[in-house]
Amino acid sequence: MNMKLLGATVLTLATLLFNPVWAEDAPAVDRTATGGAQTLEDIMARQEKLKVDESFRSENLGNPGSAAAITEQLGTRGGVSDADTWRGIRYNESDIKTQARGPAADVLIQDGGMPWYKLRQGPIITYGGGALLGIIILLVVFYFVRGKIMIDGGPSGNKIERFKAIERFGHWLLAGSFIALALTGLLTLMGRSFLIPVIGHEAYSTLAVGSKWLHNNVAWAFMLGLVMTFCMWVAHNIPNKLDWQWIKAGGGIFSKSHPSSKKFNAGQKIIFWTVMVLGVSVSLSGLSLLFPFEMPMFAGTFSTLNGILGTDFPTALTPHEEMQYANIWHSIVAFAMMVAIIAHIYIGSVGMEGAFDAMGNGQVDREWARQHHDLWVEEVEAKQGKGGST
């Protein structure tokens, strides 16, 4: 796969999601009637999703130094304007002192909550859920069009060890925890929309609390599985010229041929790197969510991206905005992983005769191995001094 194209696509999608670059600028507003304060036109422009230049209020913070003293008859704050103060708080320009402790305690107002909530409850569920349904439908259609990929000439009955116990353990640790994370993540994301109307608030509450506990804690097993599989298989997943031949032949899926392959073919390598790259990304954003406000990473990432690509991602983020970005990114990456893994599960189970054995008991039929991983079989047989089941 062309990684540059993939990277550009991901970046474009992220830009479209996070930066409403398509929003038109609102027409200039005459604010003399309000003394420079917000007008109905400003409010209406925001409702129409137009870009409103907020500088008329973000920079209108008054001058407390010239205000009347608190000893005068103006209350405890003297002549300092409440509106100026709240605008300062609203635009993070005030020196906030609170009795509450914590990394985000000095942010009293941030307005990213509703856009985050709407994005999460709207496009994320719609497109994410749509992608899951789409891949399932695609695979069902594929199954009926192509049918199960069988071993040509049938199984030989002679077995060869495909994966050692430790490899299978790492795979299933990753797979089992991922399925648990995917299901509990979907429950958390979609439960409010789809489950509460069916099972009610009380039943959903119990389910949601359990899901949250499992999601937060089984994540460590996922990360361990990710590290294990990376260490065990990265050497076998370095792309080479053979992969291009495999891709040109479409993996032999439609031509019913068997392009040469070592331990992992190009399709498996794509899955491997997809899982690794997305797995690291989903883990990092997950850690950021697991330890709220302790691991902000989007301001730094955006700053780096802006420096390299000349984009205009926001770099001054409140702790809450960091969490909102982490949550949205976590969902997007998780959906992308789910789509890839559903396809992987299909081809590793109902889609191909003999494939599940590789991870089931580690022993695959030698004929299956010759047809799908001929060069790997030659390597193994050369090491074993030709032939003999393992």
Partner 1 sequence: MKVMAAAFVAALIIAFCAPVVLNQFEWSSAEQGSSTSVRLD
Q: Residue numbers of the site for partner 1 (CB under 8 A)? A: 99-105, 165, 168-173, 175-177, 180, 214, 216-218, 220-222, 224-225, 290-294, 359-362
- Contact (Cβ atoms closer than 8 angstroms) between residue 120 and residue 330: no
Exposure letters 169-201 (e unless 16+ CB within 10 A, then b): ebbebbbebbebbbebbbbebebbeebbeeeee
Q: Which is nearer to partner 1, 359 or 380 (CB)?
A: 359
* Nearest-approach distance from CB 70 to partner 1, in angstroms: 19
Q: Which is nearer to partner 1, 270 or 341 (CB)?
A: 341
* Helices 125-146 and 319-347, packing angle to 10 deg: 10
Q: Which is nearer to partner 1, 142 or 230 (CB)?
A: 230
Cα–Cα distances in angstroms (integers) from residue 273 to residues 89, 178, 245, 331, 340, in the given order: 45, 16, 19, 19, 11
Q: Which is nearer to partner 1, 17 or 224 (CB)?
A: 224
Q: Which is nearer to partner 1, 229 or 237 (CB)?
A: 229
For residue 10, give both structure tokens.
């991901």
* Nearest-approach distance from CB 282 to partner 1, in angstroms: 16
102's CB contacts (< 8 A; 6+ apart) are 293
Q: Which is nearer to partner 1, 123 or 360 (CB)?
A: 360
- Contact (Cβ atoms closer than 8 angstroms) between residue 187 and residue 196: no
160's CB contacts (< 8 A; 6+ apart) are 363, 364, 365, 366, 369, 377, 380, 389, 390
* Nearest-approach distance from CB 101 to partner 1, in angstroms: 4
* Nearest-approach distance from CB 224 to partner 1, in angstroms: 7
Cα–Cα distances in angstroms (integers) from residue 139 to residues 144, 343, 356, in the given order: 9, 7, 17
| Calpha distance 124→142 (Å, rounded) | 26
Q: Which is nearer to partner 1, 320 or 373 (CB)?
A: 320
